[in-house]
Amino acid sequence: MKTEVILTNNIVGLGAESDQVKVAAGYARNYLFPHRLAIPLTRANKRQIEALKQRRAEREAHEFNTMSELAKAVSKLICLVKVKAGEDGKMFGSVTAGMIADELKHQFDISLDKRKIHLEHPIRALGEHEIELHLHTEVKGTLKVRVESLTPAAAPALPQGGTAPAEAKTEEGRRPRTEKRGFGRRDAKGETAEKAGKPEKEDAGAEKKPHAPRVERPVRVAKAPKVEKTEKAENPAKTE
């Protein structure tokens, strides 16, 4: 059995203030009337319709202004949603309107009915997505949602034929120790070349530098000894 009532409050899916609707008699008697959401349709109650219409207009104007400001504020935000994903970036599950509404409340303290978040289908990929919001019958907005993975990204593998980093460790798990030539190098006895006063010996395996060819010097010819001059021999023609 149906009965006609006048709604005194906005009821989603049924109507707004001052609307005359038909509902089940039990629903009106057990729910609407006790919660003062509606009144029976009578001649006396019809006089309240104008007052209800006025209140409805004021409420709708307030909602319009509030939602217009909310649309401007939300358009500047980026709502971050973190999900589980594999190493290849494939998500485990999807992002729903309810999850976005929860993150808006948690991150920005914005209470928004999930039914106002318009998703054609759940989000199933990482990255940024632009979501449409139906905030009011005359107000729509957009919200940027960034979906990130909870698992850290894997380190990039070395390319084929690539060389290992310069600081790579040796097979024994230690970095190769480079010996410095010159002073400070220890010999077999544990003394440095500088302290021993001896030049550092060359490594046995070190490659020796070729010596320059020896230039032979010309042989000097010895000069004949000088003969000392004696007294001139007496002239044989002269006699004593």
Judgement on whether residues 132 and 80 belong to the same structural domain of the protein: yes
Look at residue 102 and tell me whether its pLDDT is greater than 90.
yes
* Residue at 48 is within a domain: yes
- pLDDT per position as a tens digit, 176-187: 555 455 444 454
* Residue at 82 is within a domain: yes
Q: Domain of 82?
A: 71-149
Which stretch of 82-91, 140-149, 184-193 has the lowest confidence by average pLDDT?
A: 184-193
Whole-angstrom CA distances from 148 to 16, 117, 132, 217 are 41, 20, 20, 86
Res 150: pLDDT = 84
Given 118, 149, 180, the domain boundary residue is: 149
Judgement on whether residues 45 and 105 belong to the same structural domain of the protein: no
Judgement on whether residues 83 and 140 belong to the same structural domain of the protein: yes
Judgement on whether residues 76 and 136 belong to the same structural domain of the protein: yes
Res 204: pLDDT = 47
* Residue at 24 is within a domain: yes
**What beta strand segments (E) does 8-96 contain?**
20-24, 38-40, 78-83
Which CATH number goes with the domain that contains 29?
3.40.5.10
In this structure, what token pair is assigned to residue 126? 């990482």
Look at residue 80 and tell me whether its pLDDT is greater than 70.
yes
Residue 26's pLDDT band (boundaries 50, 70, 90)? very high
Q: How open is the CA angle 5-50-65, to the nearest 5 degrees?
A: 100
Which stretch of 44-53, 69-78, 151-160, 231-240 has the lowest confidence by average pLDDT?
A: 231-240
Q: For residue 130, which of 116, 119, 114 has the smallest C-alpha distance? A: 119
* Residue at 132 is within a domain: yes
Res 194: pLDDT = 46
Total count of domains within the chain: 2
- pLDDT per position as a tens digit, 158-179: 555 555 454 444 444 555 555 4
* Residue at 225 is within a domain: no
Average pLDDT over the chain, rounded to whole?
76
Judgement on whether residues 27 and 78 belong to the same structural domain of the protein: no
> Which of 41-45, 169-173, 176-180, 205-209 reaches the highest mean pLDDT?
41-45
Judgement on whether residues 63 and 93 belong to the same structural domain of the protein: no
* Residue at 238 is within a domain: no
Specify the higher pLDDT residue, 140 or 165: 140
Judgement on whether residues 87 and 103 belong to the same structural domain of the protein: yes
Judgement on whether residues 39 and 84 belong to the same structural domain of the protein: no
Res 47: pLDDT = 83
Which CATH number goes with the domain that contains 88?
3.10.430.100
